[in-house]
Amino acid sequence: MVTTDVTPSSRTASRGDTNRMPRSRWFAELGWRHLVGVVAVAYALFPIVYVISASLSEGGTLTGSNDLFAEVSTANYEALGGTLFWTWLANSLQIAIATGVGTVLMGAAAAYAFSRFRFTGRRAGLTSLLIIQMFPQMLAFVAIFLLLITLGNVVPALGLNSKLALIAVYLGGALGVNTFLMYGFFNTVPREIDEAAKIDGATHAQTYWTIILRLVTPILAVVALLSFISTFGEFIIARLVLQSERNWTVAVGLFGWVSALLEANWGLFAAGAVISALPVLLLFLFLQKYIVGGLTAGAVKG
Amino acid sequence: MPTQPTLTGDATGPTGTPGGTSGPPASPTRDRQGPSRGPVRPGTLVKIALMAVINALGVFGILAAWREGHMGILASMVVLLVVADWVYFSRRTLPLKYVLPGLAFLLVFQVYVVGYTGWVAFTNYGDGHNSTKEQAVEALLIQNERRVEGSATYPLTVVERGGALGFAIVDDGEAQVGTADDPLSPEPDATVDDDRVTEVPGATVLSRQEVLQRQAEVTSLRVPFSDDPNDGWVRTQDARTGFVAVPSLEWDPEADTMTDVVTGTVYHATSDGSFRSDDGERLNVGWRVMVGFDNFRTAFGDERYAQPFVKILLWTFAFAILSVVSTFLLGLFLAITFNDTRVRGRRLYRTLLIFPYAIPGFLAALLWSGMLNRSYGFVNQVLLGGAAVPWLTDPWLAKASVLGVNLWLGFPYMFLICTGALQSLPGDVLEAAKVDGAGAWRTWRSVTLPLLLVATTPLLISSFAFNFNNFTLIYMLTRGGPRFADASVPLGHTDILISMVYSVSGLDGTAAKNYGLASALSIVIFVIVATISAITFKRTKQFEEIS
């Protein structure tokens, strides 16, 4: 769909520049860049074009999906209705949104405390966070599994096969990397703003909720998005925790389709993949500015 | 910065001070409110409401833990609740008010599970060693049961009491009722009709229909005669007559032995958590014991694991390093390509190049697994005109495919951070290099690249750590396959350590569960990643200071 946009733009570019410099110099300085760009864009996009085409193919088998856009039918999308796909998608969104919001709330609060208050244990706290976050939660999946079995005996809502429990597990990682990312950003907000608010009679809670959080929105968006994306695509813990098919996430469900009957389920998978990639892709495109800023802020600050 | 101490009380803002114009306008009504004794702020109400909910949930959890007898959970819940109340109602805990929510989750779901992983790594936890010794004894007695020949049968009724299924039988004209956890005891108030119990006070008698629905539960139910498992238990096959079954093993707690009543073999409890006879035969259910470094010895020494482990370790390093290097180089190259402001359509290129990064990794891996399919995949069928290249089934090609797919997935991220780093390079330094007469290449080599590396190294390290544990990609693309031809454990050529841990743990059902070994491997991975991160972070800090 999008590939066609590339050529016109590069053509206009070449037309504009050739007016000013000779063709050979233009190619040495700028033209090759467009060549690289077109090749790179083709490389980046062909799997995506392929999956869209496969999702629209009539047959829905892997073999039948190789002729790009040979036929266009919505059969695969309609067939999704007969599966649990929409339930899985709803589960994924529910879990990822809850985790994203929770992560931002908890991470931002902690980052604020570390950035603004001086208290005993502050340095130690930051250092321990740095060490703890080196141990990815995923590595402890056995222990998480065993913990949830035990917790489930006491409070079933926090046991195996509960989405709430999965969210809680994910929130266990809310403070890790994110606190550092946000901590750096909070530090760039001048303290004078807090002071001024205090003089004006704002409580620290008011300062935090109505002033600081507004000033750090970009990093909040980045963290929310990164958390959303990683939760949306998380597989190993989701697979262990969510045991009944109704509770699965898209990642667990689609993996089941592809690993069980690759050939027969391909069209369904392709349609499901297109739909589940959409929310993330759209978020990404809308928040592109923030994301690039956030990533590079992290890059420069370390 | 040690300016004003920020530890102001929660509800005592200095009031009515006419602030400078620089501050954002606080709501005017608030300014006119009296000091701390003034009307309750809406924020406080919200806080009280939230704390009420949290306390209610906490108390519910504590009661539930009490009922189930989980003292560990009970204690942690009490501590968490007390701390939460103290933090939010005291005035001297300001920083903690902000840190506590995240900290609570962190402590339970990260610190605790990491610690628990460490503990499990030193035990033999897994299939055959699932629980405590008492439970193992019970399981052994139940599993090795035999029906007592010629023993009496009892007219039996299935009842439900307190949520648990149970049996009511008539023995010597006396009604007895019991459940799996609650041995049979006389129930004089029960109604007996025609030698069969028809009504039990405090319990419901299941109808024929209900019994049929819960057939599996009923036929597997064992109601013990007494607290001593050696006495045997009542079972039923038709839900109408009960028979007596006794264990074919005899448990002697004093001597710590199990004796097979049929063959007379004596099994002694051993320190490795199982019962073993003198000629080395072992009963199939054991219990959890600490085994020290046995799991680590197995990982490095037992040839079933050691050989694949070494191969997998090397491949994990190769995979993580090559992934970082390849994505970084491609990303950097593209970033340089589009770093020229004269290139028209830079924004469009950038947006289109982000696409792979915005596709969730699991989808991409699954998608590529189809495209690389040997017989029907797009790559072989269309791009290579029908060649049957075994992309995912040949050991070396599978490795190449994994790297190739990861390149596709990862280069946009590197492209983004390199673009950012290039754009934030200090202009004066580049200018100075130019003034000093450095050519484009020299400037790039001696100024741009070092600065770029300083900026991106921390991200390269985290990218390395991420790929070191990139389970999703491996599992979705190849599931670790192709399998090692010579290994007895389900591991393969593209398995990385984390997917090895997953297979070894047995939680995917392909192998016997071995939580102990899996946790030990987790610890090994952690040590590797942490060491590398620590060393590199240290060195980059020096790097930063020098430059």
Boundaries of every domain in chain A: 19-77, 81-299
CB-nearest partner of B366 from A194, A232, A258: A258
Contact call for A109 and B102, based on CB within 8 A: yes
Contact A141, B507 (CB under 8 A): yes
Record: contact A105-B101, CB cut-off 8 A: yes
Chain A residues 188-247 with a CB less than 8 Å from chain B: 191-206, 208, 210-211, 229, 232-236, 239-240
- Within 10 angstroms of residue A184's Cβ, the number of other Cβ atoms is 17
**Residue A62: closest C-alpha in chain B:** B376
**pLDDT at res. A129:** 84
DSSP-derived 3-state class of residue B172: coil
CB-based contact A200 B26, cutoff 8 Å: yes
CA–CA separation, B358 and A2 (whole Å): 15
Closest in A106, A131, A203 to B101, CB measured: A106
Do residues A161 and A242 make contact, with C-beta atoms less than 8 angstroms apart? yes
The nearest CA of chain B is from the CA of A104 a distance in Å of: 10
Q: Which residue has the tokens 């100024």?
A: B447
Contacts by B537-545, CB closer than 8 A, 24 or more apart: B537/B458, B537/B461, B540/A302, B540/B454, B540/B457, B540/B458, B540/B461, B543/B453, B543/B454, B543/B457, B544/A302, B544/B454
Please judge whether B19 and A196 are an interchain contact, meaning their C-beta atoms are less than 8 angstroms apart.
yes
- Phi, psi (rounded to 5 degrees) for B171: -125, 120
Locate tokens 């597990």: which residue? A169
Strand, coil or helix: what is B232? coil
Check A280 against B359: CB less than 8 A apart: yes
Tens of pLDDT, residues A32-47: 888 998 999 999 998 9
Q: What is the DSSP string of B241-254?
A: EEEEEEESEEEETT
A69 contacts chain B (CB < 8 A): no
B175 φ, ψ to 5°?
-80, 135
Cβ neighbour number for residue B446 with a 10 Å cutoff: 12
- B358-413 pLDDT per residue, tens: 888 899 999 999 888 887 788 887 788 777 778 888 889 999 999 999 999 999 98
Q: What is the CA radius of gyration of chain B?
A: 34
Q: What is the pLDDT of residue B438?
A: 80
Among B122, B100, B196, CA closest to B156: B196
pTM: 0.80
User: Which among B356, B327, B355, B343 has a CA at the least distance from the CA of B418?
Assistant: B327
> Between B23, B337, B533, which is nearest A37 by CB?
B337
Beta bridge partners of B129: B126, B286
Find out whether B150 and A168 touch, Cβ atoms under 8 Å: no
The residue of chain B with its CA nearest to that of A256 is B476
Instruction: Tell if the CB–CB gap between A44 and B456 is shorter than 8 Å.
Output: no
Contact between B236 and B167 (Cβ < 8 Å): yes
Query: Taking phi first (over 0 means left), then psi (-120 to 50 degrees means alpha), and beta for anything else, what does residue B281 get?
Result: beta
Instruction: Tell me the CA distances in angstroms from B56 to B42, B52, B61, B62, B85, one per residue in order.
Output: 21, 6, 9, 10, 12
- Burial code (b: 16+ CB inside 10 Å, e: under 16) for A133-172 equals bbbbbbbbbbbbbbbbeebbbbbeebbbebbebbbbbbbb
Q: What is the pLDDT along chain B (547 residues), one digit of tens a residue?
A: 333 333 333 333 333 333 333 334 444 444 444 444 556 777 788 889 999 999 999 999 999 888 888 888 899 999 999 999 999 888 888 888 898 999 999 999 988 998 999 998 888 888 777 778 777 787 777 777 777 777 777 888 888 887 788 888 887 778 888 888 888 888 888 888 777 888 888 888 888 888 888 888 888 888 888 777 777 788 888 878 888 887 777 777 777 888 877 777 888 887 777 788 787 777 777 777 778 888 888 888 888 888 888 899 999 999 999 999 999 999 999 998 888 878 888 888 888 888 898 888 899 999 999 888 887 788 887 788 777 778 888 889 999 999 999 999 999 989 988 888 888 888 888 888 888 888 888 888 888 888 888 888 878 888 888 898 899 999 999 888 788 887 677 888 999 999 999 988 888 877 788 899 999 999 988 888 888 878 877 776 655 544 3
Contact B249, B144 (CB under 8 A): yes
User: Please, what is the end-to-end C-alpha distance for chain A in angstroms?
Assistant: 37
State both tokens at A166.
């999965």
A48 burial level (CB within 10 Å; 0-12, 13-18, 19+): buried
Q: What is the ipTM of this complex?
A: 0.84
Cβ neighbours of B373 in A, within 8 Å:
62, 262
Q: Which two tokens stand for residue B19?
A: 């602030």
Mean residue pLDDT across chain A = 82
C-alpha triplet B13, B15, B19: angle, nearest 5°: 105
Residues of A in Cβ contact (< 8 Å) with B348: 5-6, 9
Chain A residues with CB-CB distance to B376 below 8 A: 61-63, 66, 263
Per-residue pLDDT tens digits for A160-219:
899 999 999 999 988 877 888 888 888 888 888 888 888 888 888 888 888 888 888 888
**Cα distance between residue B247 and residue B263, in whole Å:** 13
Calpha distance B305→B311 (Å, rounded) = 10
For residue B324, which amino acid is it? V
What does the H/E/C string look like for chain A? CCHHHHHHHHHHHHHHHHCCCCHHHHHHHHHHHHHHHHHHHHHHHHHHHHHHHHHHCCCCCCHHHCCCCCCCCCHHHHHHCCCCHHHHHHHHHHHHHHHHHHHHHHHHHHHHHHHHCCCCCHHHHHHHHHHHCCCCHHHHHHHHHHHHHHHHHHCHHHCCCCHHHHHHHHHCCCCHHHHHHHHHHHHCCCHHHHHHHHHCCCCHHHHHHHHHHHHCHHHHHHHHHHHHHHHHHCCHHHHHHCCCHHHCCHHHHHHHHHHHCHHHHHHHHHHHHHHHHHHHHHHHHHCHHHHHHHHHHHHHHC
Considering only the beta carbons, identify the residue of B109, B366, B479 that sits closest to A168: B109
Size of interface A-B (CB pairs under 8 A): 381
User: How large is the angle between the packed helices A141-154 and B497-505, nearest 10 degrees?
Assistant: 40
Place of tokens 């031809």: B485
The pLDDT assigned to B12 comes to 36
* The CATH fold of domain A81-299: MetI-like fold (1.10.3720)
Strand residue runs (E) in B222-372: 223-224, 233-236, 241-247, 249-252, 257-260, 266-269, 275-277
**Smallest CA–CA separation between A94 and chain B, in Å?**
16
Chain A residue with the nearest C-alpha to that of B16 = A201
Helix (H) or strand (E) holding B157: strand B153-161
Q: How confident is the model at residue A6 (pLDDT cuts 50, 70, 90)?
A: very low
Q: Which residue type does A134 have?
A: M
Residues of A in contact with B416 (CB under 8 A): 291-292, 295-296
Q: Given an 8 Å threshold on Cβ–Cβ distance, is A13 in contact with B421?
A: no
Query: Chain A contacts of B23, Cβ < 8 Å?
Result: 193, 196-197, 199-200, 202
Around Cβ B434, how many Cβ atoms within 10 Å?
13
Residue A242 has what pLDDT?
92
Write the residue in A141, A169, A203 that is nearest to B13 by C-beta.
Answer: A203
Q: CA-CA distance, B93 to B259, in Å (whole number)?
A: 61
How many alpha carbons fall within 13 Å on the CB side of residue B241?
4
What pLDDT is stored for residue A225 in this prediction? 84
Minimal C-alpha gap between B477 and chain A (Å): 10
Q: For position B330, what pLDDT does the model report? A: 94
Residue entry with tokens 């010597």: B172
